[in-house]
Chain A
Amino acid sequence: MESKKTCTGPDEGLDIKDSSRRNFLKQSTLLTAIALTPGTAIKAAADHVDEQFAAVFEKMPLKMEVNGKQQSLSVEPRSTLLDILREQLDLTGTKKGCDHGQCGACTVHVDGHRVNSCLTLGIMVNGKKITTIEGLAKGDQLHPMQEAFIKHDGFQCGYCTPGQIMSAVACIREGHANSEHEIREYMSGNICRCGAYPNIVNAIQEVKDGGMKV
């Protein structure tokens, strides 16, 4: 059910369709022009002109709300949300630990759910709301989970930490933090090579037991 909403946010939907269509038309006109002259087409292929064309035209518009701010971007369909956050929006709090959905360092919230941003193409989150670690605190006031991670030393090097914290917040929201055992299970998608696991569990339990709003 969720996947149906992909690519068409409630407001931006039409807009996106329109511009994609315009791009497609422009692109196909040019490609047709090449196709009409076989000699040119072969030479173009040999020189990888097709790829160069593709590179120019294969950009898609992407509108998303990141940490409460609207972003309108033009991205390659192959760009992951992770790389878009880090390289285009300079939101480097979201980390790359594997790029393969195996470590959780890149965890962000998409419409409130925890997601591995390295396994998510940017164009899949069109119209959606993204929250990254940079958007968790309210100004100077840290989120209770951030406070608890500091208090319980839920990290050493800090590299897995943004992903752990985003996951931890979602873990409580999902209702998967009812016991130490359950927390451990539902936090096992986030690897911490420094081995801060017990401290992370303690931090999550404190927030959960404190009944603080996450």
Chain B
Amino acid sequence: MKKAIDSIMPSSSAGMSRIDGRLKVTGAAKYSAEYTPAGLTYGVLVGSTITKGSITSIDTKAAGQAPGVLAVITHLNAPKVPGDQPEGGKPVPPKGAFKVFYDDKIYYNGQPIALVIADTFERALFGASLVKAQYHTDKHITNLPDNRSNGFPPRGEGTYKRGTEDAWKAAPFKVEQEYIVPTVTHNPMELHAIIANWDADNKLSVWDKTQGVKGTQEDLAHLFKLPVENVQVHSQFVGGAFGSALRTWPHEVAAIIGAKVVKKPVKLVLSRADMFTSVGYRPFTWQKIAIGATADGKLTGITHEAAGQTSSYENFTEGPTGVSQNLYACPNVNTKYHLVALDIATPTWMRGPGEATGSFALESALDELSYSLKLDPVELRLRNYAEKDPESGKPFSSKFLNEAYQLGADHIGWSERKQEPASVKKDGWLVGYGMAGGMFGAYRSGATIRAKMNTDGSLLLQSAVSDIGPGTGTAMVLIASEQMGIPAEKIRFEMGDSSLPNAPTQGGSATTASVGSAVYQACADLKEKFQKLIGNGGTDKPDYAKVLKEHNLPSLEVVTETGGGNGMEKYAMNSWSVHFVKVLVNPATGVVKIDKVACVADSGHIISPKTARSQVVGGAIGGIGMALMEESIIDHRYGRYINNNFADYHVPVNADIPQIDALFVNKPDPIINPMGAKGMAEIALIGMAAAVANAVYNASGKRVRDLPITPDKVMA
């Protein structure tokens, strides 16, 4: 499959359509909350109204007597979760995952303090409104900038140094600036939901929104001390997640506890407001970048400091300073990363974790440097192009970022850009261009595929992998179709069920590389099995149905396990992207309009052009949201989110978004996997926010360093 192909810019109708498209457009695709096991009941969570302290009393009488209510569960009556209990003889770890209904402690506003279960959703919701708690309140802190001095280095990730520390200071040209990425919430359209049912005392089934059925299965087996095979996790369709379904959250455990109490299946769907407190978010992060350069634009030193928020009970790290360590060839780099523990729920990975935050700072600072050097920002990047990994010195498995720069610049009409900010006006709007790039490690892990060829010539592939939206099944079918030499319509891909063969959790842009490699190898194994049947003289891709019939076989099957690949020892493996943006800024109102976007991905060979395009377009739109509108705002007096709904938390809508062009260098990576494909989910977003900010500066002369770039900041 390692073909050298020219770069491509697919249209929205190019190539094969999604294999599950029909199910999605007819409403037949079933998401987690949409199953109806017999006796289904409904659970609604009650959240704490204080931010820190403890529950002194909790009145559940009225709720318990409300019509249809079957149970009200609190820390006082919840059955114990065995995996949450301290291990005998071992010291209790000072920090760890939040344990729902464990004790009277309150760690964050909105923390679940009760679960009301009723026979209908309406009755559970009403019952939940009747639960009243009294609290002992302690003073809380939810504000990072005021508490940055309390930061501490996370274990193993605190500092990095190569060359001379703070070498930027001695450079003739330098930039030193602070940048803010606020709390941003994943907010997939599907509310997180679970239906939990105890099939027997030691057997559990869940229909659950998760990016990894196997991971969830293991977590639940551990928490409830069950044999892994006694836990069934179904997650056939996932309505977006972007990282929010990478771990097991308290509401999932709460529903399972609830199902134990009422001895019936319990459906628990988070409200949109719950989505801000219950399933993680991109953490508010303060950063400071200092860069030094010679007069001809060679970087001499980068110093990058970051302080990100975490909860008081758990340390979450995402390495935002990593980009400064390896995006550019710079001899002297030192970075420092601190965490600040606040009275909030634990953050989690969100699309482009770490890099999205870090690249906003680094790529903005580089843009600032380009203006002081009076050098084109693309040229500045080319002068500091890393030909090998600056951190390890290893060669890259493949890197065609320079081609990506060229493709994007040509496509957006970069030559139209004026270096002088605020110098172009059209129809009353200021016009500006900006660019920025991103990178993300190209990972691959082990996966197993069962492949079965039937006498009708149809191929069944099975894997536990989830698809949160990118079109995993579609890409897998395309790989198999090419390998087996049969049409895609003949191939079925079954997924999203823990009883299927092992697959990694969908995250870190690694699914195609991991599961795709297993599909590729399974096809090779299956073909080999056919060859053995045929004996000598068989062709590579025989008429499978005919061979089966001739040998009187109902089917032929292989189960193939592939490893994580071993390229990492010798090579540095990454995907790269660069985003070019043209914006219009209204000088009277500060409104920013995105006029044109060209995103270029260097992510190896493109397997499924249509879905790849959608992924890049979607990532770019996520980046536009991050740049222009997204911010989860806490009223620090109360420690509570005040915009926890879609009217006040703005995400891009159709009117905000122009046509977005997605271009692919489309050169296979010879090392990472047999398809030559690298991930693209994260790089689609990484760098986008800086590209927009840089374009806003070019248009208006206003440099906004704290996201989002709202009109008030442009006008300030």
Query: Interface residue tally of chain B, by bracket?
Result: 35 or more
State the CA gap A134–B24 with chains docked (Å): 11
Would you call A158 and B237 a contact (CB within 8 A)? Answer: yes
Whether the Cβ atoms of A133 and B469 lie closer than 8 Å is no
Contact across chains for A87 and B121 when beta carbons are under 8 A apart:
yes
Q: Chain A residues near B189: list those with CB within 8 A.
A: 95, 97, 103, 105, 157, 159-160, 191-194
Contact A198 B645 (CB under 8 A): no
Contact with B along A99-123 (1 / 0, CB 8 A): 1101101000000000000000000
Task: List the B side residues contacting A126 at CB < 8 Å.
Answer: none
Q: In the complex, which residues of chain B have a beta carbon less than 8 angstroms from the beta carbon of A76?
A: 120, 122
Q: Is A146's CB under 8 angstroms from B120's CB?
A: no
Q: Which residues of A contact B31 (CB under 8 A)?
A: 92, 95, 159
How far does the alpha carbon of A80 sit from the alpha carbon of B22 in the complex, in Å? 28
Number of A-B pairs whose CB atoms are under 8 Å? 202
Known: A48-B66, A156-B469. 15 other contacts (CB 8 A): A47-B65, A92-B30, A95-B239, A98-B646, A100-B647, A102-B646, A103-B272, A136-B26, A151-B13, A155-B25, A156-B611, A160-B239, A193-B188, A196-B618, A198-B660
A197-214, CB < 8 A from B: 197-203
Q: Which residues of A contact B65 (CB under 8 A)?
A: 47-48, 51-52
Q: How far is the CB of A151 from chain B (nearest CB, A)?
A: 5
Smallest CB gap from A98: residue in B = B272
| Cα distance, A197 to B617, chains bound together (Å) | 9
Tell me, rounded to whole Å, the shortest Cβ–Cβ distance linking B584 to chain A: 14
Which secondary structure dominates where chain A touches chain B? loop
Taking a contact as CB atoms under 8 Å apart, the answer to whether B12 and A195 are in contact is no
Q: For the complex formed, measure the closest distance between the CB of A146 and the CB atoms of chain B, giving whole angstroms.
A: 4
User: B586-625 CB contact bits vs A (8 Å, 1 = yes)?
Assistant: 0000000000000000000000001101110111111000
A sample of 27 inter-chain contacts (CB < 8 A) reads: A48-B66, A52-B65, A91-B27, A95-B31, A95-B189, A95-B190, A98-B646, A102-B647, A103-B189, A105-B189, A132-B27, A136-B26, A149-B25, A153-B13, A153-B610, A153-B613, A157-B189, A157-B239, A158-B469, A160-B239, A161-B25, A195-B617, A197-B653, A198-B12, A198-B658, A201-B659, A202-B13
Closest 10 CB pairs of A and B: A93-B27, A159-B239, A195-B621, A158-B24, A55-B67, A195-B618, A156-B469, A157-B469, A102-B646, A133-B27
Residues A191 and B657 in contact in the complex (CB < 8 Å), given A142-B25, A196-B614: no
A47-B65, A97-B272 known; A197 and B621 CB under 8 Å?
yes
Cβ proximity bits B638-655 to A, threshold 8 Å, 1 near / 0 not:
000000011100011111
User: A96: CB under 8 A from chain B?
Assistant: yes
Which residues of A in the span 12-56 have a Cβ within 8 Å of any Cβ on B? 47-48, 51-52, 54-56
B321 contacts A by Cβ under 8 Å: no
Instruction: Report which A residues bind B (CB closer than 8 A).
Output: 47-48, 51-52, 54-56, 76, 78-79, 83, 86-87, 90-100, 102-103, 105, 132-134, 136-137, 142, 146, 149-162, 165, 183-185, 187-203
Chain B's nearest CB lies how many Å from the CB of A29? 20
Mark B residues whose CB is within 8 Å of A. 12-13, 17-18, 20-31, 33-34, 36, 62, 65-68, 120-123, 187-191, 237-240, 242, 269, 271-272, 468-471, 610-611, 613-615, 617-622, 645-647, 651-655, 657-660
Contacts of B659 in A (CB 8 A): 198, 201
- Are A187's CB and B618's CB within 8 A? no
When distances are taken between beta carbons in the complex, the residues of chain A under 8 Å from B18 are 150, 153
Chain A positions within 8 Å of B619 at CB level: 195
- Closest Cβ–Cβ distance, residue A112 to chain B (whole Å): 19
CA–CA, A192 to B653, complex, Å? 7
A54 touches B67 (CB 8 A): yes
Hey, which chain B residues are within 8 Å of A158, CB to CB? 20, 23-25, 29, 237, 239, 469
Are A152 and B651 closer than 8 Å at their CB atoms? Answer: no
Note all chain A residues with C-beta closer than 8 A to B27. 91-94, 132-134, 162
Given known pairs A134-B27, A153-B18, the reply for A194 and B190 (CB within 8 Å) is no
Given A54-B67, A105-B189, also A188-B655 (CB < 8 A): yes
Interchain nearest-CB distance for A116 vs B (Å) = 12
| CB closest residue in chain B, given A136 | B26
Alpha-carbon distance between A150 and B12 when the two chains are bound, in angstroms: 10
| Chain A residues, Cβ within 8 Å of B122 | 76, 78-79, 83
Distance of A182 Cα from B354 Cα, bound (Å):
37
Determine the residue in chain B with the shortest Cβ distance to A102: B646
- Chain A residue nearest to B123 in the complex (CB): A55
Closest-CB distance, A139 to chain B (whole angstroms): 11
A140 nearest CB across to chain B (Å): 10
Contacts of A142 in B (CB 8 A): 22, 25-26
Which of A133, A156, A191 lies in contact with B471, CB distance below 8 A?
A: A156
Minimum distance in angstroms from A178 CB to a CB of chain B: 15
In the assembled complex, the Cα of A190 lies from the Cα of B652 at a distance in Å of: 10
